[in-house]
Amino acid sequence: MPATKTPPSAKTPVHPGKTGVDLLHNPSLNKGTAFTNEERKKLGLLGLLPPRVSTMDQQVLRLINNVRRQTSDLQKYVEMIALLDRNETLFYRAVQDYIDELMPIIYTPTVGAACQMYAHIFRRTRGLFITKYEKGSIKQALRNWPHKDVRVIVVTDGERILGLGDLGCNGMGIPVGKLSLYTACAGIHPEQTLPIMLDVGTNNEKLLADPLYLGMAEKRITGKEYDALIQEFVAAVQEVFPKALLQFEDFANHNAFRLLEKYRDEICTFNDDIQGTASVTLAGLFSTTRLTKTALKDMKILFHGAGEAAIGIADLIVGAMVAEGLSKKEAMGRCWFVDSKALVESTRKDLQDHKKPYAHKHAPVASLAEAVKVLKPTALIGVSGMAKQFTQEIIEDMSKFNKQPVIFALSNPTSKAECSAEEAYTWSDGRALFASGSPFPPFEYKGKTYVSGQGNNAYIFPGVGLGVVACASKRVTDEMFYEAARTLGKLVTQGDLDTGCLFPPLTKIREVSAHIAAAVMEVAYKRDLAAAPKPKDLLAHAKSRQYQPVYKKYA
């Protein structure tokens, strides 16, 4: 178990502000059985706890054993959320110590199942729920939040949860999960985070018919009514939490792109599905170039899927290729897309606006398999939300014209992955450079063990958020995500690459996040976006801002 350093602030006695049962019921203050005998006497806890005082290490051991005894990942998720509801510090210490084991439980892939069952496993409310009925009163709703120094907000309207579609109010599991990673992976203080569900209804008939559904059992609002609600919400956030970074999460394509374009130059905001996914994917591609000895600008990339994630990835790749010497037109010509209908090409009349810039001149191609044969891409990136699309035929074809075919199956959760690690390695005869959105276990093939990398946005967005908060940046820019990708790529060791892993191990993610935060701050200061004075050592400053999950000593 990794040792957790105790910061000086944890050694100075403070009064919690609550006593007795109120103290035990406050997850931000509660230490459970770790309250010392002296604290129990002073804080009205005598008789309210079992007599033996536990160390934090003992509490973590008890917790991880309880999690492991659960018979399903969903039950493990419920166990972890229950811990978050009663003892925040212990939750983050456990996640930090067992990040490999617990991140797939508190986030992808398990969070997808948790969202689907949200109303049925509901225990205690977390975050804020805002509906059309709060129109005119959104500022009041935000002021009801007990913590006033909010620095990171994650908001969703639940219309495109992972690859699962419209889950309405059930999508609240995503902001809660994302913000837990901001704290666990980058060290944003939990009291500075706020999950928000904009419940604008749902078009999911199953949810509308479910008597236990907790959201608005109405069809989604759209058009001017929707836009007016978003406008009021954004303005309210700026007034009530003026220092907050606002992250849009899991909005459907038709809203995600236009909301990002509308607000990116007005407020401190980004869309993780568009920009965070792009950054972690670009980092993975940088890693592949070290193995293939092929420059990024010389790659040809075929995307399966042409939604917000795919276009976001392509846009960032284009920027990176331009940095390597290509013109923008040449770089865009290196990126091709197959959507749910066919190859995205210039003769099609049914393309949404966000696809049109990548509609290159080409004869119609009906399928992904045919597109692979015709285009002969260097890399195949799956962001379709459709399972098992990378067939044996496709991966074998990729392996015919690439010594080391790049296969990224990025759709989440695991049930939506375009192929598994085992399939990618087996069908490519062990030559694939593979990454996935959800984790796959190590796989042995012909005597070699492959440890595939998880192209998880958790490598990017927590560090970006830490950097933005640490320098009080006024905006979040694409350049920040480019530098985050470059930084992440540099942190992959040769030892990681030798096992087939294109990303650093998750056990190093807090260190990774600090380095990304420093890179983001460098951009903010260079572009005159930072409101805070520039520290001498950006990396040291980022690390000094990281919350440590250790108990305070109570006077």
Instruction: Give the distance from CA 217 to its chain's centroid.
Output: 28
Q: Which amino acid is at 200?
A: V
Edge to edge, the sheet with strand 245-248 lists 128-131, 193-199, 152-156, 245-248, 269-271
Of the candidates 25, 51, 56, 19, which has an alpha carbon nearest to the alpha carbon of residue 555? 19
Evaluate whether 34 touches 63 at the Cβ level (below 8 Å).
Answer: no
Residue matched to tokens 């420059």: 295
Evaluate whether 530 touches 523 at the Cβ level (below 8 Å).
Answer: no
* Burial of 289 per CB tally in 10 Å (0-12, 13-18, 19+): middle
Q: How many other C-beta atoms lie within 10 A of the C-beta of residue 146? A: 6
Regarding beta strands 443-445 and 448-450, do their DSSP bridges make them parallel or antiparallel, or are they unpaired? antiparallel
- Which residues on adjacent β-strands are paired with residue 491? none
**How far is 205 from 167, CA to CA, in rounded Å?**
10
Evaluate whether 442 touches 257 at the Cβ level (below 8 Å).
Answer: no
The secondary element (H helix, E strand) that includes residue 506 is: none
**How far is 247 from 230, CA to CA, in rounded Å?**
13
Q: Which three-class secondary structure state does DSSP give residue 218?
A: coil
Q: Which residues are catalytic?
A: 107, 178
Phi-psi region of 189 (alpha: psi -120 to 50; beta: other; left: phi over 0): beta
Alpha helices in 451-544 (DSSP H): 461-471, 478-490, 494-498, 509-526, 538-544
Phi-psi region of 252 (alpha: psi -120 to 50; beta: other; left: phi over 0): beta
Instruction: Give the distance from CA 160 to its chain's centroid.
Output: 14
